[in-house]
């Protein structure tokens, strides 16, 4: 695979990005098969203290995909995060072939570490069919992604990008609005948090790989929309994903720009609900996400 020479190998703050970093993510999603229905995945060496939720979700979906006929595409997934993942040891993915019907195929995947389940996923696949077609209008008056700052440029500007400031960036993210971690944010807002995303390089043509990459990326900013509605510093919050659901509506490429519009309709009981929509540059709605997460105020 080749990449455009116009895209640098490091972001403005010196953090690695680009094709080489993206290739490592693709390799991370390429699970080792141990036995029928049994797979093993690992975490990157620069992982934080717990496994990134998008990683385990993406790897679990790969484990499900490996047991499904090639003529069926994933249309939905529902998952629960049960325990923090340990990035120092491999993750075992056990796939259950729940149902193989004429049109739909269902799989369940359990991610296991240290003899305990850390994550569970159910995914449904469908044979391609024609039917009714409609979609909500795309967001309007959104700046083009190339006109917006990269994460590295925000860091150079003086923002504290949290864990995004310390790890390689296989996903190019351009925030339309100030993210929850931005020092330029002026209090809470009821507006959605919008960010352009794309895999930072060129991906193979395998459609299921693009779905798995989007599953990985979908966990990167979604819960931040809960925080964005409040004027609370990030260091006062304990946050973790509790569950995650996605619906894939239309074909797309994860290495082309997608607008991720995230909004939190509710927060209560130290939990926040976040919704997200992925829209292409030409206005097609291609995926919808919903996540509930732990958003707990730390005691001072």
Q: Is residue 292 part of a domain?
A: yes
Residue 258 lies in a domain: yes
Is 150 a domain residue?
A: yes
Query: How far apart, in Å, are the Cα atoms of 277 and each of 32, 145, 182?
Result: 32, 16, 22
Task: Single out the residue of 276, 187, 172, 298 nearest to residue 232, CA to CA.
Answer: 187
SS3 for 41?
strand
pLDDT band at 82 (very low <50, low <70, confident <90, very high): very high
Q: Give a yes or no: residue 2 inside a domain.
A: no
What pTM was estimated for this model as a whole? 0.92
* Residue 2, pLDDT above cutoff 50: no
Per-residue confidence at 300, pLDDT binned at 50, 70, 90? Answer: low
For residue range 271-285, what is the model confidence (pLDDT) as tens digits?
A: 999 999 999 999 999
User: Active-site residue numbers?
Assistant: 219, 241, 291
> What are the tens digits of pLDDT across the range 250-278?
999 999 999 999 999 999 999 999 999 99
Q: Is the residue at 172 inside a domain?
A: yes
Secondary structure letter of residue 258 according to DSSP:
E
Asked, for residue 209, whether it belongs to a domain, the answer is yes
| pLDDT bracket for residue 242 (50, 70, 90) | very high
List, for residues 163-186, the tens digit of each pLDDT value.
Answer: 777 789 999 999 998 887 776 777
Residue ranges with strand state E in the chain: 32-35, 38-41, 72-81, 91-100, 104-113, 116-127, 171-175, 193-199, 237-248, 258-268, 271-280, 285-297
The boundaries of the domain holding residue 54 are 19-127+146-297
SS3 for 73? strand
pLDDT at res. 3: 43
Task: Give the range among 3-12, 106-115, 221-230 with minimum mean pLDDT.
Answer: 3-12
Query: In sequence order, which residues have a C-beta less than 8 Å from that of residue 246 and are 6 or more positions away?
Result: 76, 77, 214, 215, 218, 287, 288, 289
| 217 close to 52: Cβ distance less than 8 angstroms | no
Can you tell me the mean pLDDT for 125-154? 93
Count other C-beta atoms under 10 Å from residue 64's C-beta.
Answer: 28
What pLDDT is stored for residue 86 in this prediction?
95
What is the per-residue pLDDT across 21-45, written as a single tens digit (0 to 9) for each? 999 999 999 999 999 999 999 999 8
CATH code of 198's domain: 2.40.160.210
- What's the residue count for the chain? 300
With respect to residue 174, please indicate whether it lies within any of the assigned structural domains.
Answer: yes
Classify the C-alpha dihedral 62-66-71-74 as positive or negative.
Answer: negative
Name the average pLDDT for the chain.
91
| Six-digit token string for 61 | 């979906």
Question: Per-residue DSSP letters for 188-218?
Answer: --SSPEEEEEEESS---S-HHHHHHHHHHHH
pLDDT grade, residue 157 (50/70/90)? Answer: confident
Contact present, 121 and 64 (Cβ < 8 Å): yes
Task: Tell me the mean pLDDT in the region 134-156.
Answer: 92
Reply yes or no on whether the pLDDT at 291 is more than 50: yes
**Count of domains forming the chain:** 1
- Report yes or no on 275 lying in a domain: yes
What is residue 231's predicted lDDT score, i.e. its pLDDT? 81
């Amino acid at each position: 695979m080749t990449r455009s020479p116009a895209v640098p190998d490091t972001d403005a703050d010196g953090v690695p990005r680009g094709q080489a970093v993206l290739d490592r993510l693709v390799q991370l999603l390429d699970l080792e098969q141990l036995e029928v229905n049994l797979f093993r995945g690992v975490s990157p060496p620069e992982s934080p203290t717990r496994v990134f939720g998008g990683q385990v979700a993406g790897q679990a979906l790969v484990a499900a995909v490996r047991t499904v006929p090639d003529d069926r595409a994933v249309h939905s997934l529902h998952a629960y995060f049960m325990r923090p993942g340990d990035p120092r040891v491999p993750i075992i993915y056990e796939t259950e072939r729940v149902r193989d019907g004429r049109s739909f195929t269902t799989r369940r995947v359990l991610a296991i570490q240290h003899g305990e389940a850390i994550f569970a996923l159910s995914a449904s696949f469908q044979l391609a069919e024609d039917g009714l077609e409609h979609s909500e209008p795309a967001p309007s008056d959104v700046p083009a992604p190339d006109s917006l700052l990269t994460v590295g440029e925000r860091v150079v500007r003086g923002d504290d990008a949290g864990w995004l400031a310390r790890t390689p960036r296989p996903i190019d993210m351009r925030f339309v609005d100030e993210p929850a971690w931005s020092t330029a944010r002026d209090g809470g807002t009821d507006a959605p948090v919008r960010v352009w995303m794309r895999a930072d390089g060129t991906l193979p043509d395998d459609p299921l790989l693009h779905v798995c990459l989007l599953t990985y990326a979908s966990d990167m900013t979604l819960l931040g929309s809960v925080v964005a509605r409040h004027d609370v510093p990030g260091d006062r919050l304990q946050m973790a994903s509790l569950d995650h659901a996605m619906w894939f509506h239309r074909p797309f490429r994860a290495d082309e720009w997608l607008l991720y519009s995230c909004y939190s309709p509710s927060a209560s009981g130290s939990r926040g609900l976040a919704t997200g929509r992925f829209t292409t540059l030409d206005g097609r709605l291609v995926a919808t996400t919903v996540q509930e997460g732990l958003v707990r105020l730390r005691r001072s």
